[in-house]
Every structure is written in structure tokens, then in C-alpha cells.
Chains A and B, each alone.
Chain A
Amino acid sequence: MSEVNLLLEFICFAMALYFLKGNNDKFALFTKLYLGLVCVTEISGFMWKLYTNKSNVWIYNIYILFEVLYVSFGLYHFIKPFKKNARPLYISAYFVFIAVYLYGVFTRGAFKFQTTAIMVASVLIVFLCLYYYYNLMKSDKIISIRNSFGFWWVAAVLFFYFGSTVYNLFMNVIFSNKPFAYEILVYIMLTLNAILYGIWSYSFICSSRHQKLLTSSY
């Protein structure tokens, strides 16, 4: 299963490298770096498990810090044109996540999966996604949804974090008590990843179209 996951992540990374190459935005650069990091993390986790036969959870525990940072930055980047002075909200959300994360590390240790921190991050990210759509609807600006980088990027995030609610809720219970359901959770995560990376790839195409439109209009 992790091979399929890795393949999805590589495709998305390649799409980002190709379609965001003309985009000199800070966010486009972070996207490429982040997706590169996703691939590196996935390979490291895979290798660590393979060669040491020990839990690779600590790798993912480090990775989620960057994941939430990137997603928060992305959401802030896309809401900026519609809402001025939104930065404190996004910084606060990230610090709430960090506080819960550190609490988890101190109480449960760094080698246990930080499920509470991930749950809190999911709730905050879903809230910020809905906040983006609320401001998008309220704004006087007219956007073409079909070609909107922001709309699709946030849609992918909303699908992934809202859709992973059940996964997050059941993960702890199932890992410890119901190993028979483990496989279904893996499939769910695979589906969610496919949705996330699929829609993100489409959003990169939208960004490329927008860039082409901008350069052709000069």
C-alpha cells in the first residue's frame, strides 16, 4: 500500500515541479519544497522500518510539524486577497497546534503517534478552510472557479482533513484493539491521499493556466 501512496506523492511532486515552474510566488516555492519533503519522509519511513524493523512513528511526528505549517501558510496565502489582517488568526492556530503537540510529546513521548495534536490540527484546518470559503463568498471579487488555484487547493485540504475525521477517531482504538479493521483504515488513508494529491495536482494546472494568461496579456 505504501508503494501506491509513494507513487501518488511522487506524481503530485512532479506535477508541482512542472506546472509551478513559472510561478515565482513564495507559496509555489514552499509547495515544491513541501512535496519534496513528503516524498523524502515517506521513503525515510519506509527504509527505517525495512532496515531497523523499528517503529517509524518519530519520523512522521517530525513531519506533521511541517505539514501543519505548510497547510496553515497555504490557507493564509489564499485568504490574503479577500481578508486583510488575517495573519494573527493563522499564527494563533499554528501555536495552538504546537502547544497540543508539545503537551503530547511530554506526556506520551516522541515515539507515540501524536493523534490528539493531529485531531486538533484537523479541526483548526477545517475551520480555516470554511473561513476561506466564507470570505470568498462575501468578497466583491469575482473569480473563475474552474481556473482558481486557491479554490481547488483549499478544496483538497478540506476534503482531506474533514474526510480524515473518522480515520483519526478510530485510529487509536483500532490499532490497539481491532487489528482486523486496520486494513480498511489503510484504504481510507489511501483514498484520502488520492483525493488530496489529485485535487492539488489539478490546482497546480490551474496555477499554470493563470500564469500563461498573465504572460500572454503583457
Chain B
Amino acid sequence: MQFSSSEIVNIIILATCVFLIAPVFLLIYIKEYLRKKRVHEEEKVTLNQKFEAEVLKTRIEVQEQTMQTIAADLHDNIGQLLSLTALNLNSINIEHTEKARQKINNSIELINNSIRELRALAKLMQAENILMMGLGSALQQEFNHIEKTGRYQLIISNQLLEINFASPQKDLILLRLVQEIFNNIIKHSNANHITVNIQLIENHLDIIITDDGIGFDVNQTGYNGLGLSSIRKRVEMVQGTLNINSAVNQGTSIHIKLLYP
């Protein structure tokens, strides 16, 4: 087959154009790919910053909660014990030796009680340090504190007490989550019995908190009312799932499931 001169020239021009167009498209593709990669990285950084900010907020909330508990305890418990001690000591008449000894013994007993309460408070003050002992211990401390009020009957099954690993950021958020759920129960539920079941199966953590309170209509309230929005947001932060079962006068059951550690 013979090509004419103009045909050869056309072939050369066409082929060169093809060989120049190919790199153009290749570079456009690479440029687009790298742009998307950059956007993705920026999104990752933003998400990370949000997470860090939320952890900081959670830490402050945990501290606030601890402070409130300490203030209430100082006022209602230790304050009362010390007032009673002062009253007791003021009423001592040293001329009545036997009565005085009895009152002094009572006062010593009251002071010893105050010291015990103060020690318990000191433990609470280390709310963040407590996480160093593990989430299981921190949660147990919370449960003990609520149980001590005598207002609720608690049935606790806490498998986290048996583990020796941790996830510092998740632990802080989970501690705050449980605190918020208990705050809700105390504020709104009017419950008498609370059941807490914490299970760790392989690397899945299940936290189920059930109460026998007045409950609420989940369909009407949704997951945003009654302080549930912050619970939902925190569950999302630890990439877990939240399931709330409740009905009016039938109590509430909150189930949180996530990968742990």
C-alpha cells in the first residue's frame, strides 16, 4: 500500500497529536486525584480537631460533675456530720464526767465518719486520674456513689473491671456518657431500680442501662430531646450505635454498642 505525501504528513500530525493528548489527560487525572486526596486529608484533619475539642469539652464536664458531687457531699454529708460534732462538743459539761466521756466518744465516732467520707470524696476528686485505673473502676466508683444515696437499688454487672487494657480518649467519653445517662435517670425517670450490664465480648463493648422509671415516648421525643442529643453525639464520636427502648410508664433501656478498645 502506497501513501501519498499529504497522507504521510497527515498521519504524522495526527499521531503526534494523539501522543500529546494522552499526557494531557493523564495529568488532568493525576491533578484531580491529588485534589480529592487533599480534600480528604483536610476533612480528616477537621474531624480530628472536632474530636479533640469534644474530648476537651467532655473532660471539663466530667470535672464539673465531680465538683457538683463534692459540693453536694460536703454540704449534705460531711457538713452535717461536723455540725453535729460541734454541737456535741459544745454541749459537754466537764463536771458530768460520765456524760462528757460519752459525748466525746460520740464526737470521735462522728469525726471518724467525717474522715471516711472525706477519703471517699478525695477519690472522687481524682475523677480523671481514676481513668488511669481503668474505665471499669471509674464507672464502678460512679455506681457506688449513686448506690450510697440509698435512693436507688442498683444491680451491676461490670465486666470492664476484669480487663487490663484501655482506650484513654474513648474511656473519658464513655465515662461521661454513663454519667449523663444517670443524670437523666435521676432528673427525669423517677425510677427505683437501675440495672447496669457492661459486657465485653471479643472487642465489642455492650453497655445496657435499664431503669423502671416513668419512661417516655421515643417516637415523640426522638433521640434529640431530654438531653439525649449529647448522648447520641458522643456515641457517634466513639463510632458506636445507640438504641433506646422506652414507653410511658414502662421504664427505659439504653443500649450502647461499640468497638473497644
Contacts and interface: CB of A to CB of B under 8 A. Distances in A.
A145 B34 contact: yes
Interface residues of A, number: 24
Which DSSP category, helix, strand, loop or mixed, fits chain A's interface? Answer: helix
Given A136-B34, A145-B34, A184-B13, A178 B5 contact: yes
Contacts of A165: 19
Interface residues of B, number: 21
Interface in B56-112: none
B26 interface: yes
A191 B88 CA distance: 106
A143 B34 contact: yes
Given A142-B37, A181-B5, A181-B8, A166 B31 contact: no
A137 interface: yes
Contacts of A10: none
A159 B12 contact: no
B133 interface: no
B258 to A, nearest CB: 28
A133 B19 contact: no
A64 B33 CA distance: 34
B16 A163 contact: yes
Nearest to B21: A163
A162 B22 contact: yes
A163 B8 contact: no
Most chain A C-beta atoms within 10 Å of own C-beta, residue among B13, B15, B19, B27: B19
B23 interface: yes
A133 B26 contact: yes
A216 B30 CA distance: 29
The 3 closest A-B pairs by CB, nearest first: A166-B15, A163-B20, A166-B16
Interface of A: 130, 133, 136-137, 142-143, 145, 155, 158-159, 162-163, 165-167, 170, 178, 180-181, 184-185, 188, 191, 195
Given A145-B34, A162-B22, 4 more contacts: A143-B34, A158-B27, A188-B16, A191-B16
